[in-house]
C-alpha cells in the first residue's frame, strides 16, 4: 500500500500554521523566540545549598548567620556589577539584606529574591522538648538562595537582555508570629522605587526531592501574568509535572510586602513539605534535580525577555 499523497497547498498551509503557532507561543511566554539561555548547573547549585548547611542553623545573631553573610557577599561580588548591603535592626538584632545588580540601574529590572536566614525555633516538631532548637533550613532558607547564586554565575558570564536585581532577604523566619517575620522584604519594599522593577519572582522552599509547585493563591490573584509567564516557560522546558496547574495555598511570605507596594511579585513555593519548621529540614530531603528544574525555568524566563 502506498503512502497517501500530500498536496503542496496543504503542506504550505501546515507550515504557515506551525510558524504562526510558534509565534503565538513566544508571545504568550513574553519571549523573543531565541532565548540563548546558558546552562544552569544543578550540581553547583546544590553545592551552594550544602555550603550554607555546613555553617549550621543560621538564625539572627548566630555565628553561622555572620559566616553565611560573608559567603553570600563573596559569591555575588564575583559576578554582579554592584552589591549593596541594606542594614537595619529589629529588637536588638542586626539584619542585612544583600542586593546584587546586573545591568544598568537606569532601566527597570526583574527582581529575583529569596530569604537567607533560618527559623530560630523548630516550632512544628512533634516533641515539645525539641521545639526551642534552631532548624537547619536546607529547604526553608538555603534552597532559594542556592538557585539564585547559580543564576548569578550565569548572569556574570552572559549578561541577560534586561537588568536583573537579586535580593537576599534577612529576617523572614524570625518569628514567632508574622508580626516579627518578613522583616527584610518589608524593609526592602519600603525603600524601593517600584517604577524601577518590572516584576518579581520569590523562590522559597524549592529544593524538596518530591517537588510540586502549584500556583500560590496570592500570586495567582494579584500577579497572574507573571505566574503564567513562569509556568508557561516551565511547561515548554518539560517541567509541567513540577510546575502544576493546580492552585495551592495562600502563603503569607516575602512577596506580600512587594505586592502591597505595587510590584507584581509571585511566590514559587512548595508549601506541602513535611519537614517545614522541624529539625528534619536537612539537605538529604533536597535534590539537585529540583533546584535544576527551578533554576532552568527562571533562567529561561530571564534570557527570553525583551529589552
- The torsion angles phi and psi of 160, rounded to 5 degrees, stand at -65, 160
Q: What percent of the chain has pLDDT over 70?
A: 89
Q: What percent of the chain has pLDDT over 90?
A: 88
Read off the pLDDT band of 35 (50, 70, 90): low
Average pLDDT over residues 259-277: 99
Integer Cα distance of 175 and 12 in angstroms: 63
For 134, the enclosing helix (H) or strand (E) is none
**What CATH number is associated with residue 84?**
3.40.630.10
Does the residue 1 lie in any domain? no
Residue count (the chain)? 307
pLDDT of 63-93, one tens digit each? 999 999 999 999 999 999 999 999 999 999 9
| pLDDT exceeds cutoff 50 at 14 | no
How confident is the model at residue 17, as a pLDDT? 41
Domain that holds residue 170: 38-303
CA 166 to each of CA 4, 114, 138, 201: distance values in angstroms, whole numbers, following the listed order: 56, 8, 20, 10
How confident is the model at residue 98, as a pLDDT? 99
Average pLDDT over residues 12-28: 40
Does the residue 267 lie in any domain? yes
Does the residue 224 lie in any domain? yes
Does the residue 91 lie in any domain? yes
CA 285 to each of CA 38, 44, 100, 187, 281: distance values in angstroms, whole numbers, following the listed order: 27, 17, 29, 31, 7
| pLDDT exceeds cutoff 60 at 21 | no
Does the residue 7 lie in any domain? no
Q: Cell numbers 519594599 correspond to what residue?
A: 189
| pLDDT exceeds cutoff 50 at 26 | no
Does the residue 118 lie in any domain? yes
Mean pLDDT over all residues of the chain?
92
| pLDDT exceeds cutoff 50 at 283 | yes
Does the residue 13 lie in any domain? no
pTM score: 0.89
pLDDT of 149-201, one tens digit each? 999 999 999 999 999 999 999 999 999 999 999 999 999 999 999 999 999 99
Does the residue 189 lie in any domain? yes
pLDDT of 231-262, one tens digit each? 999 999 999 999 999 999 999 999 999 999 99
Integer Cα distance of 239 and 126 in angstroms: 34
**Total domains present in the chain:** 1
Average pLDDT over residues 1-29: 39
Amino acid at each position: 500500500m502506498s503512502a497517501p499523497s500530500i498536496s503542496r497547498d496543504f503542506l504550505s498551509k501546515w507550515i504557515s500554521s506551525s510558524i504562526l503557532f510558534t509565534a503565538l507561543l513566544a508571545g504568550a511566554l513574553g519571549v523573543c523566540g531565541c532565548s540563548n539561555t546558558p546552562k544552569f548547573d544543578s550540581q553547583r547549585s546544590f553545592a551552594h545549598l550544602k555550603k550554607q548547611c555546613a555553617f549550621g542553623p543560621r538564625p539572627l545573631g548566630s555565628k553561622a548567620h555572620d559566616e553565611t553573610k560573608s559567603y553570600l557577599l563573596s559569591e555575588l561580588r564575583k559576578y554582579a556589577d554592584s552589591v549593596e548591603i541594606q542594614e537595619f535592626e529589629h529588637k536588638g538584632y542586626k539584619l542585612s539584606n544583600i542586593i546584587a545588580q546586573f545591568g544598568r540601574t537606569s532601566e527597570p529590572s526583574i527582581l529575583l529574591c529569596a530569604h537567607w536566614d533560618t527559623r530560630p525555633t523548630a516550632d512544628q516538631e512533634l516533641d515539645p522538648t525539641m521545639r526551642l532548637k534552631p532548624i537547619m533550613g536546607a529547604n526553608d532558607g538555603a534552597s532559594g538562595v542556592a538557585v539564585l547564586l547559580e543564576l548569578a554565575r550565569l548572569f556574570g558570564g552572559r549578561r541577560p537582555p534586561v537588568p536583573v536585581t537579586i535580593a537576599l532577604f534577612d529576617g523572614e523566619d524570625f518569628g514567632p508570629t508574622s508580626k516579627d517575620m518578613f522583616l527584610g522584604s518589608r524593609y526592602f519594599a519600603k525603600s524601593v522605587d517600584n517604577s524601577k522593577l518590572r516584576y518579581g519572582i520569590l523562590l522559597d522552599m524549592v529544593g524538596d526531592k518530591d517537588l510540586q509547585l502549584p500556583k500560590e493563591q496570592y500570586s495567582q490573584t494579584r500577579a497572574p501574568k507573571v505566574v503564567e509567564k513562569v509556568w508557561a516557560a516551565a511547561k515548554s522546558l518539560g517541567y509541567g509535572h513540577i510546575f502544576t496547574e493546580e492552585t495551592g495555598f495562600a502563603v503569607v511570605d516575602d512577596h506580600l510586602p512587594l505586592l502591597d507596594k505595587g510590584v507584581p511579585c509571585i511566590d514559587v513555593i512548595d508549601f506541602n513539605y513535611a519537614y517545614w519548621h522541624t529539625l528534619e529540614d536537612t539537605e538529604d530531603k533536597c535534590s539537585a534535580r529540583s533546584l535544576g528544574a527551578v533554576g532552568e525555568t527562571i533562567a529561561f524566563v530571564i534570557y527570553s525577555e525583551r529589552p
